[in-house]
Every structure is written in structure tokens, then in C-alpha cells.
Amino acid sequence: MAEPLPSNDNEEYLVELDDQQRADLSLVADHAAYHTHREPDGTIVMRPEPTTEEIQAWIGSRPDILESIEESRAHPERSRSRPERNR
């Protein structure tokens, strides 16, 4: 389980895995989803990724974006197509 280490500006925590290789991130995780990768030296990097609900809440809190969406839906003839991306 997570145990606090000595406090500093960038609080650090010791996170241990249980017998099923799971970690309790409740002391350090502020988001519901993370994009994760492991560096060659074993360092695990977790980058917050917004969930659909977080994106929808953000859009809902921005009247300017809602207005733009409504305008685009009302006048699709004004839309410009974007060039296809190379994948």
C-alpha cells in the first residue's frame, strides 16, 4: 500500500504492489485515466488522459465552444474539409 515519504514540494510516495501486482494510487492519482509507458531503466511514466466525461464537462463549461458547435451544426455548408492525415 502507499505510504507517505518525508514531505517536500513535490510530495513523493512509496507505492508497493500487492500479491496480484496491483498498486494503490489513491494518494497520487488525480485523474481517472492515464497513458502509461515504461522507460528502458524501468521508470514508469503516467501521463493524465482526460476521460470522455471530463472532455464533455469541459466543453459544457465553455459557452464559446458550445456556440461554435451549434453554429457548425446549423450551417454545415460553411465547414471546410481537412486534409487526410498520413498514418
* Cβ-based neighbours of 24, under 8 Å, separated by 6 or more: 1, 2, 15, 18
Q: How confident is the model at residue 9 (pLDDT cuts 50, 70, 90)?
A: low
pLDDT at 4: 47
Better-predicted residue by pLDDT, 3 or 75: 75
How does pLDDT run across 18-30, given as a tens digit for each residue? 999 999 988 888 8
Q: How far is CA 26 from the centre of its chain?
A: 15
Q: What is the pTM of this model?
A: 0.50
Asked whether residue 76 carries a pLDDT value surpassing 80, the answer given is yes
